Amino acid sequence: MLDDPWLTDDLDIVEAFLHRAMGDDVATAVVGGRIVMEDRRFLTIDVPALYREIRSAAKTVGDEQRQRAAMLQRLKPYYQRWYGDWLGGETQPFYVLNSRV
């Protein structure tokens, strides 16, 4: 288990599971005593119906949302460069919890 990239020998195991595990690390989920996912299969959600609903809602995207998406695309090179500095530069993230560095 310590071979996983998000774990180290000195990491508290509770912190690891609560704050650093990724979706691929979860096979079963229990919410309020009810199993909602087992063997990576959702038991309480009709996933194909959910995707149909999302695709339908996405068709109604208006000009305001398009403008926001365009703005985020213009900003993308700047924040990617800033985050990239964390990996190779001296800058360390202020909030380390899920920084993966």
Q: What is the full DSSP assignment across 40-61? A: TEESSS-HHHHHHHHHHHHTT-
pLDDT tens digits, 15-47: 777 777 777 778 999 999 999 999 999 999 999
Instruction: Choose the weakest-confidence range: 49-53, 86-90, 95-99.
Output: 95-99
| Closest among 65, 101, 60 to 84, alpha carbons compared | 101
CB 93 within 8 A of CB 86: yes
Q: Model-level pTM?
A: 0.43
Amino acid at 29: A
